[in-house]
Chains A and B, each alone.
Chain A
Amino acid sequence: MNVTSSDILLLAHATFGVLGTVSAVWVFVETLNAQERNARRTRTAAWCVTIFMTAAWIVAGYWYLHFYPAERAIILKGPWPFAHSIFMETKEHLFLMTLILAFYLPVVVREKLHANPAARKMTLCVAMMIVITGLAIEGAGAVIDHGVKVALLRSAAMGAAK
Protein backbone atom coordinates (compact mmCIF):
# COMPACT_ATOMS: atom_id res chain seq x y z
CA MET A 1 0.00 0.00 0.00
CA ASN A 2 1.33 3.39 -0.96
CA VAL A 3 -0.72 6.27 0.44
CA THR A 4 0.98 9.63 -0.13
CA SER A 5 0.44 12.92 1.69
CA SER A 6 -1.21 14.17 -1.50
CA ASP A 7 -3.78 11.35 -1.26
CA ILE A 8 -4.49 12.09 2.40
CA LEU A 9 -4.91 15.83 1.79
CA LEU A 10 -7.08 15.24 -1.27
CA LEU A 11 -9.44 12.93 0.62
CA ALA A 12 -9.37 15.11 3.76
CA HIS A 13 -10.44 18.26 1.90
CA ALA A 14 -13.41 16.47 0.32
CA THR A 15 -14.33 14.98 3.70
CA PHE A 16 -14.24 18.37 5.44
CA GLY A 17 -16.35 19.81 2.61
CA VAL A 18 -18.97 17.08 3.02
CA LEU A 19 -18.99 17.49 6.81
CA GLY A 20 -19.47 21.25 6.38
CA THR A 21 -22.32 20.70 3.93
CA VAL A 22 -24.00 18.11 6.18
CA SER A 23 -23.62 20.50 9.13
CA ALA A 24 -25.41 23.18 7.07
CA VAL A 25 -28.28 20.70 6.57
CA TRP A 26 -28.24 20.23 10.35
CA VAL A 27 -28.53 24.02 10.84
CA PHE A 28 -31.39 24.10 8.33
CA VAL A 29 -33.35 21.38 10.13
CA GLU A 30 -32.75 22.90 13.59
CA THR A 31 -33.90 26.28 12.27
CA LEU A 32 -37.08 24.82 10.77
CA ASN A 33 -37.86 23.59 14.29
CA ALA A 34 -36.45 26.64 16.07
CA GLN A 35 -37.32 26.70 19.76
CA GLU A 36 -35.66 28.10 22.83
CA ARG A 37 -34.43 24.65 23.83
CA ASN A 38 -32.56 23.91 20.55
CA ALA A 39 -30.92 27.34 20.23
CA ARG A 40 -27.65 26.09 21.70
CA ARG A 41 -27.63 23.08 19.36
CA THR A 42 -28.26 25.34 16.35
CA ARG A 43 -25.27 27.50 17.32
CA THR A 44 -23.12 24.40 17.72
CA ALA A 45 -24.17 23.22 14.24
CA ALA A 46 -23.39 26.65 12.78
CA TRP A 47 -19.91 26.61 14.31
CA CYS A 48 -19.41 23.09 12.90
CA VAL A 49 -20.11 24.52 9.43
CA THR A 50 -17.56 27.29 9.96
CA ILE A 51 -14.89 24.98 11.38
CA PHE A 52 -15.30 22.26 8.73
CA MET A 53 -15.35 24.76 5.85
CA THR A 54 -12.28 26.54 7.22
CA ALA A 55 -10.49 23.19 7.52
CA ALA A 56 -11.52 22.37 3.93
CA TRP A 57 -10.16 25.77 2.80
CA ILE A 58 -6.78 25.27 4.47
CA VAL A 59 -6.32 21.63 3.41
CA ALA A 60 -7.64 22.20 -0.13
CA GLY A 61 -5.51 25.32 -0.49
CA TYR A 62 -2.35 23.47 0.50
CA TRP A 63 -3.15 20.59 -1.86
CA TYR A 64 -4.11 22.94 -4.70
CA LEU A 65 -0.88 24.90 -4.47
CA HIS A 66 1.49 21.98 -3.94
CA PHE A 67 0.00 18.95 -5.72
CA TYR A 68 -2.62 20.12 -8.21
CA PRO A 69 -0.24 21.53 -10.89
CA ALA A 70 0.85 17.97 -11.82
CA GLU A 71 -2.78 16.83 -12.13
CA ARG A 72 -3.68 19.96 -14.09
CA ALA A 73 -0.98 19.11 -16.66
CA ILE A 74 -2.45 15.58 -17.00
CA ILE A 75 -6.02 16.91 -17.37
CA LEU A 76 -5.06 19.48 -20.01
CA LYS A 77 -3.36 16.80 -22.15
CA GLY A 78 -6.38 14.49 -21.87
CA PRO A 79 -9.79 14.38 -23.57
CA TRP A 80 -11.49 16.44 -20.81
CA PRO A 81 -9.48 19.71 -20.56
CA PHE A 82 -12.68 21.48 -19.48
CA ALA A 83 -12.44 19.55 -16.19
CA HIS A 84 -9.78 22.13 -15.30
CA SER A 85 -10.64 25.16 -17.42
CA ILE A 86 -14.31 25.26 -16.42
CA PHE A 87 -14.91 23.04 -13.41
CA MET A 88 -11.74 23.56 -11.36
CA GLU A 89 -11.65 27.28 -12.08
CA THR A 90 -15.31 27.67 -11.07
CA LYS A 91 -14.92 25.37 -8.06
CA GLU A 92 -11.92 27.12 -6.56
CA HIS A 93 -13.61 30.53 -6.75
CA LEU A 94 -17.11 29.36 -5.82
CA PHE A 95 -15.70 27.78 -2.67
CA LEU A 96 -14.58 31.21 -1.45
CA MET A 97 -18.25 32.26 -1.46
CA THR A 98 -19.25 29.14 0.48
CA LEU A 99 -16.53 29.97 2.98
CA ILE A 100 -17.82 33.52 3.51
CA LEU A 101 -21.37 32.19 3.94
CA ALA A 102 -19.98 29.70 6.50
CA PHE A 103 -18.31 32.58 8.37
CA TYR A 104 -21.61 34.46 8.43
CA LEU A 105 -23.75 31.62 9.76
CA PRO A 106 -22.62 31.88 13.44
CA VAL A 107 -23.36 35.63 13.32
CA VAL A 108 -26.99 35.23 12.31
CA VAL A 109 -27.73 32.24 14.60
CA ARG A 110 -26.82 34.43 17.60
CA GLU A 111 -30.31 35.91 17.18
CA LYS A 112 -33.27 34.36 18.97
CA LEU A 113 -34.41 32.31 15.99
CA HIS A 114 -37.54 31.01 17.73
CA ALA A 115 -38.77 34.59 18.25
CA ASN A 116 -37.41 36.29 15.16
CA PRO A 117 -38.92 35.24 11.80
CA ALA A 118 -36.52 37.47 9.86
CA ALA A 119 -33.44 35.90 11.43
CA ARG A 120 -34.99 32.45 10.95
CA LYS A 121 -35.55 33.14 7.24
CA MET A 122 -32.02 34.51 6.85
CA THR A 123 -30.54 31.44 8.56
CA LEU A 124 -32.56 29.08 6.34
CA CYS A 125 -31.45 30.92 3.18
CA VAL A 126 -27.77 31.02 4.19
CA ALA A 127 -27.74 27.35 5.23
CA MET A 128 -29.47 26.37 1.97
CA MET A 129 -26.97 28.37 -0.11
CA ILE A 130 -24.11 26.60 1.68
CA VAL A 131 -25.73 23.24 0.90
CA ILE A 132 -26.32 24.11 -2.78
CA THR A 133 -22.84 25.54 -3.38
CA GLY A 134 -21.30 22.73 -1.33
CA LEU A 135 -23.01 20.08 -3.48
CA ALA A 136 -22.00 21.93 -6.67
CA ILE A 137 -18.39 21.99 -5.46
CA GLU A 138 -18.45 18.28 -4.61
CA GLY A 139 -19.89 17.57 -8.08
CA ALA A 140 -17.20 19.67 -9.73
CA GLY A 141 -14.62 17.70 -7.74
CA ALA A 142 -15.98 14.48 -9.26
CA VAL A 143 -15.70 15.95 -12.78
CA ILE A 144 -12.09 17.01 -12.12
CA ASP A 145 -11.27 13.56 -10.75
CA HIS A 146 -12.80 11.98 -13.86
CA GLY A 147 -10.79 14.40 -16.03
CA VAL A 148 -7.59 12.93 -14.57
CA LYS A 149 -8.93 9.38 -14.92
CA VAL A 150 -9.86 9.62 -18.62
CA ALA A 151 -6.54 11.32 -19.40
CA LEU A 152 -4.60 8.50 -17.70
CA LEU A 153 -6.77 5.83 -19.32
CA ARG A 154 -6.17 7.28 -22.77
CA SER A 155 -2.47 7.57 -22.06
CA ALA A 156 -2.35 3.95 -20.91
CA ALA A 157 -4.37 2.76 -23.94
CA MET A 158 -2.01 4.60 -26.30
CA GLY A 159 0.98 3.07 -24.50
CA ALA A 160 -0.49 -0.43 -24.79
CA ALA A 161 -1.22 0.05 -28.52
CA LYS A 162 2.46 0.82 -29.27
Chain B
Amino acid sequence: MSSDTVKLSRASAGFGISVAITALFNTVLACVKDAYHPLLVIMNSIAGHNWTTQGLADVILFVGLGLILSRSHAVERIRPDRLIAFLVAAVAVAGVGLFFWYTMF
Protein backbone atom coordinates (compact mmCIF):
# COMPACT_ATOMS: atom_id res chain seq x y z
CA MET B 1 0.00 0.00 0.00
CA SER B 2 1.37 3.41 -0.93
CA SER B 3 1.74 6.01 1.83
CA ASP B 4 1.78 8.84 -0.70
CA THR B 5 -0.56 11.75 -0.09
CA VAL B 6 -1.74 14.41 -2.50
CA LYS B 7 -2.97 16.87 0.11
CA LEU B 8 -1.22 19.82 1.66
CA SER B 9 -1.35 20.22 5.42
CA ARG B 10 -3.51 23.00 6.82
CA ALA B 11 -0.38 25.02 7.62
CA SER B 12 1.03 24.70 4.08
CA ALA B 13 -2.33 25.50 2.48
CA GLY B 14 -3.20 28.33 4.87
CA PHE B 15 0.17 30.04 4.66
CA GLY B 16 0.27 29.38 0.89
CA ILE B 17 -2.96 31.35 0.40
CA SER B 18 -1.55 33.97 2.74
CA VAL B 19 1.57 34.36 0.53
CA ALA B 20 -0.60 34.88 -2.55
CA ILE B 21 -2.83 37.47 -0.87
CA THR B 22 0.17 39.26 0.68
CA ALA B 23 1.92 39.46 -2.72
CA LEU B 24 -1.17 41.07 -4.28
CA PHE B 25 -1.63 43.35 -1.26
CA ASN B 26 2.02 44.44 -1.54
CA THR B 27 1.58 45.55 -5.16
CA VAL B 28 -1.76 47.25 -4.54
CA LEU B 29 -0.33 49.12 -1.54
CA ALA B 30 2.74 50.21 -3.56
CA CYS B 31 0.46 51.63 -6.26
CA VAL B 32 -2.05 53.26 -3.91
CA LYS B 33 0.57 54.96 -1.75
CA ASP B 34 2.11 56.52 -4.87
CA ALA B 35 -1.25 57.62 -6.24
CA TYR B 36 -2.71 58.86 -2.93
CA HIS B 37 -0.26 61.13 -1.13
CA PRO B 38 -2.01 61.24 2.28
CA LEU B 39 -1.49 57.48 2.60
CA LEU B 40 2.23 57.94 1.91
CA VAL B 41 2.40 60.56 4.66
CA ILE B 42 0.65 58.24 7.12
CA MET B 43 2.95 55.35 6.19
CA ASN B 44 6.01 57.58 6.62
CA SER B 45 4.83 58.54 10.10
CA ILE B 46 4.16 54.98 11.30
CA ALA B 47 7.65 53.46 10.98
CA GLY B 48 9.76 56.41 9.86
CA HIS B 49 9.62 55.49 6.15
CA ASN B 50 6.82 54.20 3.94
CA TRP B 51 8.93 51.24 2.74
CA THR B 52 9.58 50.11 6.30
CA THR B 53 5.89 50.38 7.11
CA GLN B 54 5.00 48.43 3.98
CA GLY B 55 7.47 45.66 4.82
CA LEU B 56 6.13 45.34 8.35
CA ALA B 57 2.52 45.41 7.06
CA ASP B 58 3.35 42.59 4.63
CA VAL B 59 4.93 40.44 7.34
CA ILE B 60 2.07 41.05 9.79
CA LEU B 61 -0.51 40.26 7.08
CA PHE B 62 1.33 37.09 6.03
CA VAL B 63 1.71 35.77 9.58
CA GLY B 64 -1.76 36.86 10.76
CA LEU B 65 -3.64 35.58 7.74
CA GLY B 66 -1.55 32.42 7.67
CA LEU B 67 -2.33 31.62 11.31
CA ILE B 68 -6.05 32.27 10.81
CA LEU B 69 -6.30 30.24 7.59
CA SER B 70 -4.21 27.37 8.92
CA ARG B 71 -6.74 26.91 11.73
CA SER B 72 -9.58 26.65 9.21
CA HIS B 73 -10.70 23.27 7.89
CA ALA B 74 -11.88 24.98 4.68
CA VAL B 75 -8.31 25.24 3.33
CA GLU B 76 -8.03 21.44 3.38
CA ARG B 77 -10.79 21.23 0.78
CA ILE B 78 -8.89 23.36 -1.74
CA ARG B 79 -7.24 21.23 -4.40
CA PRO B 80 -3.43 21.58 -4.14
CA ASP B 81 -3.07 22.14 -7.90
CA ARG B 82 -5.46 25.07 -7.73
CA LEU B 83 -3.73 26.52 -4.71
CA ILE B 84 -0.31 26.25 -6.38
CA ALA B 85 -1.68 27.82 -9.58
CA PHE B 86 -3.25 30.65 -7.56
CA LEU B 87 0.03 31.28 -5.71
CA VAL B 88 2.16 31.30 -8.87
CA ALA B 89 -0.35 33.50 -10.72
CA ALA B 90 -0.61 35.94 -7.81
CA VAL B 91 3.18 36.33 -7.52
CA ALA B 92 3.55 36.69 -11.31
CA VAL B 93 0.75 39.27 -11.59
CA ALA B 94 2.02 41.16 -8.55
CA GLY B 95 5.64 41.20 -9.79
CA VAL B 96 4.85 42.18 -13.36
CA GLY B 97 2.26 44.66 -12.07
CA LEU B 98 4.93 46.44 -10.01
CA PHE B 99 7.20 46.79 -13.04
CA PHE B 100 4.39 48.14 -15.22
CA TRP B 101 3.23 50.54 -12.52
CA TYR B 102 6.65 52.11 -12.11
CA THR B 103 7.16 52.19 -15.89
CA MET B 104 3.88 54.06 -16.34
CA PHE B 105 3.82 56.15 -13.14
Contact = CB atoms under 8 A, between A and B. Distances in A.
Contacts of B9: 110-111, 119
A104 B83 CA distance: 14
A90 B12 contact: no
B55 A57 contact: yes
B103 A86 contact: yes
Query: B-side binding surface: helix, strand, loop or mixed?
Result: helix
Nearest to B27: A93
Given A115-B4, A121-B80, A101 B16 contact: no
A116 B98 contact: no
A7 interface: no
B6 A116 contact: yes
A117 B3 CA distance: 11
Given A103-B59, A116-B6, A92 B51 contact: yes
B95 to A, nearest CB: 6
Contact of B26 (A85, A93, A111, A122): A93
B80 A118 contact: yes
Interface hub of B12, B15, B66, B95 (most chain A Cβ within 10 A): B12
Interface hub of A61, A93, A99, A112 (most chain B Cβ within 10 A): A93
A153 interface: no
Contacts of A57: 55
Nearest to A87: B102
Interface in B54-105: 54-55, 58-59, 62-63, 66, 80-81, 83-84, 87-88, 91, 94-95, 98-99, 102-103, 105
Interface hub of A97, A117, A121 (most chain B Cβ within 10 A): A97
Given A115-B3, A115-B5, A96 B15 contact: no
A119 B12 CA distance: 8
Contact of A118 (B5, B22, B59): B5
Interface in A106-145: 107-108, 110-112, 115-119, 121-122, 125-126, 129, 133, 136
Nearest to B58: A96
B51 A118 contact: no
A136 B80 CA distance: 27
A126 B90 CA distance: 12
Contacts of A89: 98, 102
Given A94-B98, A118-B80, 6 more contacts: A65-B51, A96-B54, A103-B59, A118-B5, A118-B7, A133-B95
